[in-house]
Amino acid sequence: MRWKRIILKLSGETLGGEGGFGLNVEAMHYIASEVKEVHDLGCQIAIVIGGGNFIRGDKLSQIGIERATADYMGMLGTMINALALQSILEQIGVFTRVLSAVTAIEIAEPFIRRRAIRHLEKGRIVIFAGGTGNPYFTTDTAAALRASEIGAEVILKATNVDGIYEADPKKNKDAKFREEIDAEEVLQKELRVMDLTAITLAMENKVPVIVFNVFTKGNLKRLIMGEKIGSEVRNGK
């Protein structure tokens, strides 16, 4: 395997299927099966999950809900997704723990760094919910933060496109695909790979980011086994 411990970043829309809203059972089973295939290889997997298929804090703030409150609402959306994915994973025989940055002891363990690492060492999949636990920070930033805290070797950002383009490939068929790109260039060009805080944090802690199409079956496993899939954000010097 190319990496022993990874962070898989899943957007809420990934679990929403084609419509990107709510929970799509087929999409969840598909994601779970892809994750199990990699877990069976012995890879330690932590998942940071978004909540955009239910609520997006920045959108709610635009319609009059105070921004911090809207972001907390979004954190609750991530917890719904985490519990749903945990249920599907355990149905197919993968022991899973949900750790939340927002205290909800009846349904999830609080995030404790050493506890998260211990779960991974015991072969459990860890799902991080609640983002960073703070408003004004995205789940992309949570992924960069958790990766640094648990010693993950890479952040794999699951999307529905093949990687990083210099323009939206759905709107511009001539958009240039980048197999590799320096983090500094991502920041300079403000490419919408992850938010700028997340990219900066990953760069400072020397955690590479790979953007790939999770809906191409087997892509996750091929990545883990060392194939060139998607686009890699390098840390530069």
- The structure's pTM equals 0.94
Are 120 and 112 in contact by the 8 Å Cβ rule? The answer is no
Are 170 and 221 in contact by the 8 Å Cβ rule? The answer is no
What is the distance between the alpha carbons of residues 50 and 129, in angstroms, rounded to a whole number? 8
Question: 3-class SS at 215?
Answer: coil
Residue 160: the pLDDT is 87
Report the chain's terminal Cα–Cα distance, integer Å: 25
Beta bridge partners of 109: 99
**Phi and psi torsions of 89, nearest 5°:** -65, -40
Residue 171: the pLDDT is 82
What is the distance between the alpha carbons of residues 22 and 33, in angstroms, rounded to a whole number? 20
User: For residue 122, is pLDDT > 70?
Assistant: yes
Query: Could you report the per-residue pLDDT of 125-165, keeping only the tens digit for each?
Result: 999 999 999 999 999 999 999 999 999 999 999 998 899 99
> What's the mean pLDDT when you consider all of the chain?
92
Of 15-19, 98-102, 188-192, 210-214, which range is least confident? Answer: 15-19
Written as one letter, the residue type at 107 is I
Domain interval for residue 197: 5-234
Residue 236: the pLDDT is 58
Choose among 80, 96, 72, 69: nearest CA to 8. Answer: 96
Counting the structural domains of the chain, the total is 1
Instruction: Return all residues near 15 (Cβ < 8 A) that are at least 6 apart.
Output: 23, 24, 27, 28, 31, 49, 53, 81, 84, 85
Share of the chain above pLDDT 70, in %: 98
The domain that holds 29 is classified in CATH as 3.40.1160.10
Owner of token pair 């999770």 = 214
Per-residue confidence band for 235, with pLDDT thresholds at 50, 70 and 90: confident
Are 205 and 147 in contact by the 8 Å Cβ rule? The answer is yes
- DSSP class per residue in 129-145: ESTTSSTT--HHHHHHH
Query: Could you report the per-residue pLDDT of 63-121, keeping only the tens digit for each?
Result: 889 989 989 999 999 999 999 999 999 999 999 999 999 999 999 999 999 999 999 99
